[in-house]
Structure 1
C-alpha cells in the first residue's frame, strides 16, 4: 500500500502541476491530499479495479469525470508496473535455482555458449516460474476449500438440517443460494514431456526410444560370457604379464577360445586396470581397438588418447589419433579439447594452436579449461602478450580467468622484464576482484628489477611493506639486481643496512646478487666476507660459483679459480650461453687459456653458438697466449 500511494502521489503531482501551472506548491499539495483521500476511500470499498466502469456509469459530484478517468489510468499503470516488477524479481530467483543451473551446466557440456545459452536459461526460468505459479494456485484453491469446509462444519453445529440418508444441507442453501464448487483447471492440448528444454512428447521420439532400446540390447548385453577351462588359463597368463612383455599372441588365443563381444572386451580391460599395470593395459587397449567384435567408436579412441595424454605419452596419443583417422572416424570436439591440453602441457605451441582453431572451425566456443591451456602454451613458448590477448578474449565472452592464469601471465612478464605487461595484469586483477598479495607485489618488483628501473622497483617494494606484506628473500634480491644494473652501490648498501636494523634476515638469493655485483667490481675481500654469511658450500647457489670463477680468474687467484671452475664444470648442463661466455672471458683475462678452451668446447658440445667478441678473444689468446686479453 505504501509503495502504491507513493507512486500515485509522484505521478499525480506532475499531472496536476501540468493542468494548473499557475498554482503554487501548497495548493498542489492540498489538491493531492483531497484526491488521495478519495482514492483511499474507493480502495477501502474494493472498487479500485472497477473504477473505469464507475466513471462511465456514475456521475461523481466531488470530481469531474475526466479527473476520475485520469486517476484510474494512473492507478491501473501503477498496479500493472508493480505486478511486472514482482514477476521480474521472481524470475531472478528462478534464474538462480538449482534445476536451471543444472540445465545450463548440461548445455555447456554439449557445447552451447553465448547468446543461445542466455536465451535458453531465460526460457527455462520462465517455464519453472509458470510451474511454480500453477502449483501455488492449486495450493490456494485447497486452502480456500478447507476454509469453506470449516465454515460448513461450524454452520452445521449451529443448526443445519440433516436428511435421513445422512446428507447435510447448509443453511445458506435453504434460502436458495447455490454452493460453490472447486475443480482442478483443465489442461489445454496434449501433455508435454521436457528434458533440459527439449520437447520429447512428439511421435518421432517414441520411435527413437524404441530404436535406442534395441540398440542397447545389441551393444551392451546384461551379462558377460563365462570364462572357464583353457580360456581362463590364457587370461590368467595375460594378467600375469609384465609391462615390457607383448600380449598379442595371448590376446589372439583368448579371442579364438571365447569369441568375445564388446562387453567381454570391456571386462578384460577392467581386470587389467585392477592389476595396476598401466603400460600393459595401454598395449591391450590399443590391440582391442583393431578387433571387429569390440565395435570401437569415437569415444573409445578419444578415451585412450586422453589416457596417453595424461601420462605425457605424446607419440602414443598421436599414433592412436592416426589409427582413428585411418578408420574414417573424424575427431570430435572432445578429442580436440584433449589435444589442446596435451600439446599445451608438452609446450608444442603450433599443434596446440591447430587443435584450438579446429574447435572454432567446428562452430564450438572454447570453455575456460581450453583457454587456460592455450594461454599456458603461449607462456611456455615465451609469448605472454599472445596469452594476454587470449585472456582479453575470455573477458569479452564473460568467461572469468582464474587467479592462477593471472599469476602465470604476471610471472612471464616479470621474468622477461616487460613492466608494461606486468602492470596491466596487476591492474586487471584488481578490477577482477583479486587484491594484491605478497606474490603479485614481488613479481612486480622483479619485473622492474629485470628492466633495470630501480626507482619504480623501490616504490613497489615500499608499497608492499605499507600494505602489510613482508618482502621475502627473492623480492629483496630483485630490488638489489635493479640497483646493480644502474651500479647504485651506495643505495643498495643503504637498503641492506636499513633491513638489518629492522630485523630483516637476508637470504641466499640476496647474497648471491651481492656476490655477483662485488665480484664484477673485483672486491675479493668483500666477496669472501659476504660468503661467510651464506653458510656451507652446499647452500651456495650455483650462480654464485659462476661469479666466483670469473672473479678469482680475473684476480689471478689460481687455486680458488680452479676450485670454482671445477664446481662449474660438474654442473655445466645448468649453464646458459651467457654464463658460459662469462666464465670463458674471465679465464682468458686471468691467463687460464687452456681451461678457457676446454670450457669453450663444452659450450659448443651443448649447442651454444659463440659470440663475435668471444671468437676474437679466443683468437687473440691463441696468437698471444702470454698477453692478457682485452676484458669485455
Structure 2
C-alpha cells in the first residue's frame, strides 16, 4: 500500500516520536509498527456510526490519495490502542480520550468502506497516522481553528479532501458528545423528585405506557432547561456584582467551570490521552449502535418532513377545504406523495385545527384509520371529547364504536369524557353506566365528575339521587360547591319538596355558605307551593332580616302562598307594608293577583290589575290568559271568554296538562261543552292524558247536554 500522496514522511517521523519508536520513511518500504490492541471501552453513541457499518460505499476523495502498489507494502501486526505523550506530568484528559475514541470509530468505517480489499492491520496503520496528525494539531492548538472554518486549509501532510473529511468527522464527534452530555443530564432530571411526582400523578389519572414515557422525558427536559436558565441568570448576576474582590475575568472562569460544554481543549503542549476502539470490528457493536439509535429516537422526537413541490400544493388544498367537502381523495394523494409518519399526521392536524377548524374533525376521523398514523387511546379520546363539546352525540358514539372494533378499549380518561357527555344531554342510563365502570376500575371520582352526574340528575328532576352523590362527596371530604347546593335547592323547591329544600338549606349553612336572596326566595316558593303560608312568611321575614330586599318574584311566591289558603287580607297587608318600604309590584305579583281575583269572580278588580300590567308595557304571560278564560267562562261573559280562548288555542303548543284541564273544567262549568271537547281533542293531540276527574266531568256534561251555545 503506497501512502505517499496521503501522508508525508515528516508526519510518519513525528508519529514515531509520539510512540517512542523510530520509523524511517521510504517510498518503497515502510517499517512495521507492532503493538498490542487494547479492549474497546466506548460503545457507539450515534446512529451515524452504525450507518457506516451497514452502508459501505467508497469515499472517492480518499481513493485519489491512497492507492496500492507492488513496490511499497505496509505491514502491521497490530496497532497500539493506548498512545501516551512524552510529557508524563500532565493529567489524562477524559474529553480528549472520548473525542479520539469516537473519531477512530467513525474514521475506521470510512476507511473500510473505501478500501474493502485492505486487511484490518492496514486500516489500523492508516488510522494511526491520521490520529497522529490530529493529535499534533491539537497540541499546537490549531485543530479548533480548523473546526471553526467550513473548509480546512490543506497542509503539507494531508490533502485538502482528507482535511475536509477530518473536519466533518471531528464536528460529527463533537455533536455526538454534546448529545451524550445532554442525555446524561436528562437522566439526572428524570430521577428528580418533581418529575417523579408528576409521573405518579399522571399514573393515578390513568396515563400509562408510551404516553407516560413521552411526558416523563418532556418534563425532564423542561426542568433541565429551567435549571440552565436560572444558572445563566446567576452567572449574569455574578458578573454584574463582583464579590470577594474577584475580577470579572475570574468570575467568568468560575462560570465557565459550572457550565461544562463539550469542546476540544484550547492549549498547546503535549497531551496525555488514550484511544479506545481501534478494535471495534466485532458485529456486536453494530447491534449496540442500533439500540442506541432507537433510544435516541425515543428521547429526541422526530421532526416532520419538509414539504416542497407538489406535496406543498396538496397540503394547501387540504387547508382550504370547506366543511361540506370530502377530504378522503386529497388525503390519499398527499399520503402517496409524502409517505407520512405519525409526526407528519400530527403536524397536519395541528395546522388544520389552527387554520381550518371546520374541516379538522372530519380529517381527524379519517386519519384514525391510517396505519402510518398508529392511532392510540388519546387520539380516539380527543376526537370523542371534541364531538361531545359540540353535543354531537351520534358522532362521538361512532368514534367510540370504531375504537372498540379496532381492539382499543376505553381507558379511565375516555370513560370520564363519556360521563360528562351523557350527563350533559340527559342520558342518565349511559352516564350511570360509565360512572359505575370508573368505580370498577378503582378510580375515585373527582369534583368535576360528581358535578356532572349531580347536574344530570337535577336536570332530570331526580334531586334525591343527586343528593345521594353529594353526601358521598362529603364522606370523602370533597366539599360540594355552592353551585351544587343551589341546583339541589332549586330542584326540591320546584317539586314542592319542602323537607328536601329545608335539608339542603341547613346543609349549606353548615358548609359555610350564607343564605342568599335566591336561596331564601326558593324556600318561600317551596313552602308556598306546599300550602304552608306560615313557614313561607317566616322565611320571607328572615330574608328581610338578613338585609335582602324582596323582589317581584319572591313577593309573588309569598302572595301565591296566601292564595292557597285564601288569606286575602294578609296578602293585602303584606303589599301595603312593602309599598311603604318602596316596593313596586311587577308583572309576577300582578299575575298572581289576577288569578286569585279571577277565582273569586271579582271581574272588575281583576281587569283593573290587567290594566296595570298593560301600563308596565309588558305582554301578559300565558297564565294570565288561562286565568281570564277561566274567569270569563264561569262568569258567563261569552265574548270575553271567546277572546281569551282564542289566545290559548293560538298558543296551544305552550300549554301544559294543568292548563288544559283548568280550561276544559272552566268551559264545562260555563256550559260550553262543545268547546270543552274541542280543547280536549287538542290536549290529546299534544300527547297529554286527561285525569279521571276530567273524564268524569266530560261524560256528565255529555249526558246533560250544553247549557250555553258554543263559542265556535
Q: How far does the alpha carbon of each residue in 1:392-447 deviate from its partner, in whole angstroms, 9 at most, with x for none?
A: 11111111111111111111111111112111111111111111111111111111
Alignment of 1:252-263 (within 5 A): 252-263=332-343
Q: Which residue of structure 1 lines up, in the alignment, with residue 488 of structure 2?
A: 409
CA contact (8 A) 1:577 1:603 kept: yes
Q: Which residue of structure 1 lines up, in the alignment, with residue 160 of structure 2?
A: none
Q: How far does the alpha carbon of each residue in 1:449-472 deviate from its partner, in whole angstroms, 9 at most, with x for none?
A: 121100000011001111111011
Q: Which residue of structure 1 lines up, in the alignment, with residue 573 of structure 2?
A: 494
Distance change in 2, residues 1:416/1:246 (3 Å): same
1:603 aligns with 2:672: no
Q: Which residue of structure 1 lines up, in the alignment, with residue 563 of structure 2?
A: 484
1:222 aligns with 2:315: no
Q: Which residue of structure 1 lines up, in the alignment, with residue 204 of structure 2?
A: 111
Distance 2:319 2:331 in 1: 11
Q: Which residue of structure 1 lines up, in the alignment, with residue 168 of structure 2?
A: none
Q: CA deviation at 1:497?
A: 1.9
Distance change in 2, residues 1:628/1:100 (3 Å): farther
1:615 aligned residue (682, 686, 695): 695
CA contact (8 A) 1:584 1:600 kept: yes
Q: CA deviation at 1:286?
A: 1.1
Q: CA deviation at 1:388?
A: 1.2
Q: Which residue of structure 2 lines up, in the alignment, with residue 270 of structure 1?
A: 350
Q: Which residue of structure 2 lines up, in the alignment, with residue 345 of structure 1?
A: 424
Distance 2:483 2:346 in 1: 38
Distance change in 2, residues 1:240/1:588 (3 Å): farther
CA contact (8 A) 1:480 1:510 kept: yes
Q: CA deviation at 1:617?
A: 2.9
1:311 aligns with 2:404: no
Select the structure of larger CA radius of gyration: 2
Q: Which residue of structure 1 lines up, in the alignment, with residue 361 of structure 2?
A: 282
Distance change in 2, residues 1:104/1:573 (3 Å): farther
Q: Which residue of structure 1 lines up, in the alignment, with residue 549 of structure 2?
A: 470
Distance change in 2, residues 1:621/1:339 (3 Å): same
Q: Which residue of structure 2 lines up, in the alignment, with residue 568 of structure 1?
A: 648
Q: CA deviation at 1:368?
A: 0.5
Distance change in 2, residues 1:273/1:610 (3 Å): same
Distance 2:502 2:200 in 1: 37
Distance 2:292 2:446 in 1: 31
Q: Which residue of structure 1 lines up, in the alignment, with residue 472 of structure 2?
A: 393
SS of residue matched to 2:659? helix
Q: TM-score, normalised by structure 2?
A: 0.57
**How many residues in Structure 1 have an aligned counterpart in Structure 2?**
435
Q: How far does the alpha carbon of each residue in 1:517-575 deviate from its partner, in whole angstroms, 9 at most, with x for none?
A: 22122221111111111126743222211211222222222232222223222322222
1:376 aligns with 2:459: no
CA contact (8 A) 2:319 2:356 kept: no
Q: CA deviation at 1:245?
A: 3.0
Q: Which residue of structure 2 lines up, in the alignment, with residue 442 of structure 1?
A: 521
Distance change in 2, residues 1:417/1:327 (3 Å): same
Unaligned runs of 5+ in 2: 1-191, 207-243, 245-290
Structure 1 or 2: more helix by fraction: 1
1:539 aligns with 2:632: no
Distance change in 2, residues 1:105/1:427 (3 Å): farther
Tell which has more relative contact order, 1 or 2 (C-alpha 8 A, sep 6+): 2
Q: CA deviation at 1:107?
A: 5.5
Q: Please list every run of at least 4 consecutive aligned residues from structure 1 whose deviation after the TM superposition is greater than 6 angstroms.
A: 99-106, 208-212
Q: CA deviation at 1:315?
A: 1.1
Pairwise CA RMSD: 2.8
CA contact (8 A) 1:242 1:277 kept: no
Q: CA deviation at 1:339?
A: 0.9
Q: Which residue of structure 2 lines up, in the alignment, with residue 427 of structure 1?
A: 506
Q: CA deviation at 1:253?
A: 2.7
Distance 1:259 1:404 in 2: 52
Distance change in 2, residues 1:105/1:482 (3 Å): farther
1:293 aligns with 2:386: no
Distance 1:292 1:474 in 2: 61
SS of residue matched to 2:507? helix
Q: TM-score, normalised by structure 1?
A: 0.64
